[in-house]
């Protein structure tokens, strides 16, 4: 597999951007083996530290002959001659940085989630930097279109990244400036991708492959209650009701509270876990106390997937998709599943009707009815 590497500045650090030249399903899992690798929607690519060690791993994984350097060689000295973690030059202050701060303050006052603020701010900063001599209030639709086209062409934005950029722009004009503007026509065409789902047999393999009590409890709880990874790390001890077999999720996506179900098997496992680990406040805590990290759960999951020998492109969120699909296959009403998942719209939940294997088994072609 050939990959293209190019210089990249990310969070004021010099990084090496990487994009595959063609499709290869093994690319994400290979990139995860490079220390310090990250994928960010704002950049629309994977990137690794500008360090000899990281670049050496990259060459070992893909082969030096498969690495295509950018045409702008003078911008990209060989990483093995660069000083480790060399910081990028400090960027000049944006002329209209005050507008970025103004938008961030507005979002904080409205209690937007930290990740949402970070994402919107990042995309809006790109817009302000793209037109350094023009106040963003005076930009027209054509200007915004050129900004998005630049992101798609030069930064290889995905459809999701383009959508987030439009959201950030809309927020500034409609919520900060109070203007009645809409830029829906600047959005990408809606993609109706079906989520990946484990079979029940694969879930069994996955969970059985985890021997550590704490790690197994985390993954079983996520599947049992259909939790998002961010919801699982925010659970407190008091959010678990073992007698009623319920888990209380506070301020989930969209700042909505909800209850979900606990399997009797998870209830018994939680009793053992609580007795052995005795967490202080959070249900799952790190080695030094405090909230468990999402990255730790992702590492647990990746090891379990590799050991179980199941779909290597699945994520922790696949357990949530599997929770909903398996409930639907066993006859639970879609409206109850919607409540358990915390979806605002039934249309969001209805996507699972397209991926249930038992529903597909009942389908047949009209040719089956013809006497041929």
Domain locations in the chain as residue ranges: 3-80, 97-186, 200-359
What is the Cα–Cα distance from 319 to 214, expressed in whole angstroms? 17
Q: Say whether 343 is catalytic.
A: yes
**Angle subtended at Cα 297 by Cα 296 and Cα 300, rounded to the nearest 5 degrees:** 90
Supply the pLDDT for residue 96: 83
What is the Cα–Cα distance from 27 to 155, expressed in whole angstroms? 18
Of 317, 326, 330, 362, which is the active-site residue?
317
CA dihedral 336, 341, 342, 348 (to 10 degrees): -90
**DSSP per residue over 148-165, as a string?**
HHHHHHHS---HHHHHHH
CB 330 within 8 A of CB 357: no
Q: Which two tokens stand for residue 355?
A: 């991926």
| DSSP SS3 for 120 | helix
Q: Who contacts 194 (Cβ-Cβ below 8 Å, separation ≥6)?
A: 351, 354, 355
> Residue 20: what are its φ and ψ, rounded to 5°?
-75, 145
Of 253, 302, 303, 307, which is the active-site residue?
253
Supply the pLDDT for residue 51: 84
Of 215, 320, 321, 326, which is the active-site residue?
320
Q: Say whether 326 is catalytic.
A: no
Q: How many CA atoms lie within 13 A of 23 on its CB side?
A: 1
What is the Cα–Cα distance from 218 to 270, expressed in whole angstroms? 9
Q: Say whether 352 is catalytic.
A: yes
- Whether pTM > 0.75 for this model: the answer is no
CB 325 within 8 A of CB 198: no
| DSSP SS3 for 114 | helix
| DSSP SS3 for 47 | strand
Of 15, 47, 321, 343, which is the active-site residue?
343
CB 7 within 8 A of CB 76: yes
**What is the chain's pLDDT, residue by residue, as a tens digit (372 residues)?**
788 888 887 776 788 888 888 777 778 877 887 878 888 776 778 888 888 878 888 887 787 778 887 655 444 545 454 444 444 444 445 678 889 999 999 999 998 887 788 889 999 999 999 998 899 999 988 899 999 999 888 888 888 888 899 999 999 999 999 988 766 667 776 655 656 788 889 999 999 999 999 999 999 999 998 898 988 998 999 999 999 888 998 876 767 788 888 889 999 999 999 999 999 889 998 877 778 888 889 999 999 999 999 988 888 999 988 888 888 887 777 777 777 887 766 666 666 666 555 555 554 555 455 565
Supply the pLDDT for residue 213: 95
What is the Cα–Cα distance from 258 to 342, expressed in whole angstroms? 7
Location of structure tokens 């893909």: 62
Q: Say whether 317 is catalytic.
A: yes
209: left (phi over 0), alpha (psi -120 to 50) or beta: alpha
Location of structure tokens 């249930």: 356
Of 228, 234, 321, 326, which is the active-site residue?
228
Q: Say whether 253 is catalytic.
A: yes
User: How many other CB atoms sit within 10 Å of the CB of residue 75?
Assistant: 9
Q: Which two tokens stand for residue 7?
A: 């210089």
What is the Cα–Cα distance from 1 to 65, expressed in whole angstroms? 10
CB 254 within 8 A of CB 247: no
Q: Domain 200-359 class?
A: mainly alpha
Asked if the 97-186 domain carries CATH number 3.40.250.10, the reply is no
CB 322 within 8 A of CB 198: yes
- What residues does 45 pair with on adjacent strands? 40
Q: Say whether 93 is catalytic.
A: no
What is the Cα–Cα distance from 79 to 121, expressed in whole angstroms? 30
């Amino acid at each position: 597999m050939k990959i293209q590497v190019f210089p990249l500045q990310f969070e004021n650090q010099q990084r090496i951007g990487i994009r595959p030249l063609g499709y290869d399903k093994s690319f994400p899992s290979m990139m995860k083996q490079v220390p310090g690798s990250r994928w960010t929607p704002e950049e629309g690519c994977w990137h690794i530290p500008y360090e000899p060690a990281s670049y050496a791993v990259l060459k070992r994984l893909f082969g030096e002959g498969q690495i295509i350097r950018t045409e702008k060689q003078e911008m990209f000295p060989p990483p093995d001659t660069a000083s480790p973690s060399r910081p990028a030059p400090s960027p000049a202050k944006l002329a209209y940085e005050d507008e970025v701060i103004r938008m961030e303050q507005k979002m904080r006052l409205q209690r937007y989630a930290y990740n949402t603020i970070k994402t919107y701010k990042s995309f809006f900063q790109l817009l302000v930097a793209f037109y350094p001599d023009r106040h963003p209030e005076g930009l027209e639709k054509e200007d915004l279109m050129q900004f998005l086209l630049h992101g798609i062409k030069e930064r290889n934005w995905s459809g999701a990244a383009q959508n987030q950029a439009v959201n950030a722009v809309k927020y500034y004009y409609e919520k900060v400036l109070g203007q009645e503007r809409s830029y829906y026509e600047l959005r990408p065409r809606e993609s109706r991708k079906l989520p990946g789902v484990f079979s029940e047999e694969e879930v069994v393999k996955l969970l059985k492959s985890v021997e550590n009590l704490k790690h197994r409890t985390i993954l079983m709880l996520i599947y049992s209650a259909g939790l998002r990874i961010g919801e699982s790390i925010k659970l407190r001890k008091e959010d678990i009701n073992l007698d009623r077999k319920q888990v209380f999720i506070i301020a989930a996506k969209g700042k909505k509270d909800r209850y979900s179900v606990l399997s009797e098997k998870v209830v018994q496992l939680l009793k053992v876990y609580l007795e052995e680990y005795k967490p202080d406040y959070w249900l799952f805590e790190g080695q030094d106390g405090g909230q468990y990290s999402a990255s730790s759960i992702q590492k647990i999951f990746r090891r379990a997937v590799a050991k179980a020998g199941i779909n290597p492109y699945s994520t922790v969120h696949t357990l949530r998709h599997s929770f909903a699909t398996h409930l639907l296959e066993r006859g639970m009403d879609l409206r109850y599943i919607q409540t358990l998942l915390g979806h605002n719209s039934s249309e969001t939940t209805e996507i699972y009707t397209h991926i249930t294997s038992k529903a597909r088994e009942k389908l047949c072609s009209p040719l089956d009815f013809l006497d041929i």
